[in-house]
Amino acid sequence: MPKRGYHHGNLRQALVDAALVLIEERGPTGFTLSEAAKRAGVTPAAVYRHFEGREDLIAEAALQGYRIFADLMEFAYADGKPTDLAAFEATGRAYLAFARKYPGHYVAMFESGISLQRTPDLNAAATRANGVLEQAAVALCQHIPADRRPPPQMFSAHIWAMSHGVVELFARGTPGTKSPFPPEDLLETGIGIYLRGLGLLAKDT
């Protein structure tokens, strides 16, 4: 790859893109800034014009991931249409789709150990993404008998954990974890069992 030096048109994004590939290949701690610079076609010294260190670079990858993730979740939720249940299930499928399409971002967001409090922008992006699932949970909770209704935050956390578990175990191609069922089916049936256990009133969901 030819060197593009300090006059790279968008060096910052080129470094993020290089880091995303390395994160996907080796994990968030499996590469150095020098390797990211080499992958982007610039000198290692050029990296420090934009990032203080590897964690700063990974945090930017996570920030961009959360923004994409939030957009996908909002699109999937579609303001709760056509029904609260259908919209809620759509957010779960969007979670799986995001993990498949953006594996580098996914790892930077959820497996790098980067604190969501690292920057206000990162916190805001993560809060927006999490807020979509909580909004969906609040709406769906209204269809559960009051005496069996968990707090919406707990409800959404349960579904988030279920979605994350399906992704980690079955949707990322990890050797030895192949499921006889599609991840989408695993998630949808798991959510269904969970909701029926809470006494979901299905007639108008």
Residue ranges and CATH numbers for the domains of the chain are: 1-51 (1.10.10), 58-204 (1.10.357.10)
pLDDT at 159: 85
Residue where the block lists tokens 């980690």: 168
Residue where the block lists tokens 């994409």: 68
- Between CA 188 and CA 204 the distance in angstroms is 18
∠ CA 66-163-177 to the nearest 5 degrees?
115
Residue pLDDT tens, the chain, 205 long = 444 444 455 889 999 999 999 999 999 989 998 999 999 988 888 888 889 889 999 999 999 999 999 999 999 999 999 999 899 889 988 999 999 899 999 999 999 999 999 999 999 999 999 999 889 888 988 888 888 888 888 888 888 888 888 888 877 665 456 677 888 888 889 988 988 888 886 655 6
DSSP state for residue 148 in the 8-state scheme: G
Residue where the block lists tokens 């993404």: 129
- Between CA 205 and CA 144 the distance in angstroms is 10
∠ CA 29-35-39 to the nearest 5 degrees?
120
At 141-166, the pLDDT tens digits run 888 888 888 888 888 888 888 888 88
- Between CA 87 and CA 136 the distance in angstroms is 7
